[in-house]
A and B are shown apart, each in its own frame.
Chain A
Amino acid sequence: LDGRMFFGSEMLGAAQTFGAGAGMSAGMPHPSMDGYGRPAARLPTSQVEQPKEQRWSPYANNGGTCLALAGDDFCIIAADSRLSQGYSILSRTTSKIAQLTSKCCIASSGCNADQTTLHKLLKFKLQMYQHQHGKELATPGIGQMLATTLYGRRFFPYYTFNVVGGLDSDGTGCVFSYDAVGCFERLKYSVSGTGQALIEPFLDNMVAYKNTDMKPTIDRTCEETLELIKDIFASAGERDIYTGDFVDIHIITKDGTRYEQFPLKKD
């Protein structure tokens, strides 16, 4: 079946032999002529099945939102725990966050397969560093390493939108934000994933106090920031279908990393 229909072919039947019929030119039958030397009747192009290229894609977007917020002496990394494919939920309790060192966590949204592999690779590289140098790699170093790792796959990228958060060697909170191929920047806060557009302007307003002249004299404490993050994820979960179920929250301070799980709407 070549997808083209000819009215003429029904009439030809067994008569479709070379040189059959009066007025036919010798040799191969021409597809636009019926076997009797007349132009074959055709359907209009709009009613004929056109060839369509089908292609398998190595990438899938499994949804989800990741956020990191740095304070003076703490850093909070949060991500929802929903794994989606299309309109279905594959899992409600899949973590997007990996603890890389005692002072650093990474959260990645995008393709779950690439996220798992990337986290595994980073942990391996950090273990090698630990063995060779006798100490953990500091958070800014991890930031740089992730950028080079991502760029190493410039021509078949990891489909992950990463956010690294932790304490630097001075104990100050730091956040690094990445695109899929390793362009990165150190920031005070960053969000990535399907809920990024929903959350980012709110952080601009409430953390960086943009477009306001209400910057308070006292910075938010770790507990107040935690409450803000829970509110943020609740709002994002309302409007983004890929964000919901639970939020995994890692709070990194000089005393170590604390883990909390906050429930969201399951719809």
Chain B
Amino acid sequence: SSAIETSAMSITEYNGGGILAMAGKNCVAIASDRRYGVQFQTMATDKNKLYKMHDKLYIGLAGLATDQATFHEKLKFRLAMYSLREERDIKPASFGKLVSTLLYERRFGPYFCEPVIAGLDSANEPYLFASDFIGAPLIPDMDSNGFVVAGTSSEQLFGMCESMWRPGLDPEELFETISQCLLAGSDRDCLAGWGGTVHVICPDKVITRTLRGRMD
């Protein structure tokens, strides 16, 4: 018999997932797992949680999947309006403020998603941003901790990044570091995993790779 049971899980743990972004020397990388689940049942293993805003700006959204989708649509719309009016791509710092504002507009009925932004500004300096689900910004100090995390495996990812990150990584080293952190972190979280997607954003190109880890 297929009994419908609910478990006492928080709304941000309903779908699960882990997002991670890291800064290197004139490059940033953003990575996420690929699981889409409903509580403990895995529904899909190729879910995309990283969205390209423009060539040098990516956003990852962790949390409730329906809010991820809706919030992404809102951002896509706002970005399209911005580029039509301004006739240029939005700066990462401005985009970070936009995300904060949009989330705080819903202060008393929030979107249950936690954004992570990775981009390169006009001088090709890395920009990282994370926030809680009501828009409180976190822009890390690039010299001491150039990484941000979000999702159900955030503690695991924090532990990995704290030990493995160091400043001044080049794109290949950055890719290796962020991949190891993502795989090891999501392996210990039952709501995140089924591989990973990594985008490494360099001034001239974006390298996208799919990781294969423990497929559970």
A-side interface residues toward B, CB under 8 Å? 195, 197-202, 204-205, 210-212, 231-232, 235-236, 238-239
Contacts and interface: CB of A to CB of B under 8 A. Distances in A.
B163 A210 contact: no
Contacts of B180: 205, 211-212
Contact of B160 (A201, A212, A231): A201
A211 B187 contact: yes
Nearest to B213: A211
A201 B155 CA distance: 10
A232 B163 CA distance: 7
B188 interface: yes
B113 to A, nearest CB: 21
A210 B184 contact: yes
The 10 closest A-B pairs by CB, nearest first: A198-B159, A197-B155, A201-B184, A235-B162, A211-B183, A205-B184, A235-B163, A201-B156, A239-B158, A201-B185
Contacts of A199: 159
B182 to A, nearest CB: 9
A202 B163 contact: yes
Nearest to A238: B162
B184 A211 contact: yes
Given A202-B159, A202-B163, 12 more contacts: A198-B155, A199-B159, A201-B187, A202-B160, A204-B184, A210-B184, A210-B187, A211-B183, A211-B184, A235-B159, A236-B159, A239-B162
11 contacts: A197-B188, A198-B156, A198-B159, A198-B162, A201-B160, A201-B184, A201-B185, A211-B180, A211-B183, A212-B180, A236-B162
A256 B86 CA distance: 72
Interface string B173-216: 00000001001110110000000000000000000000001100
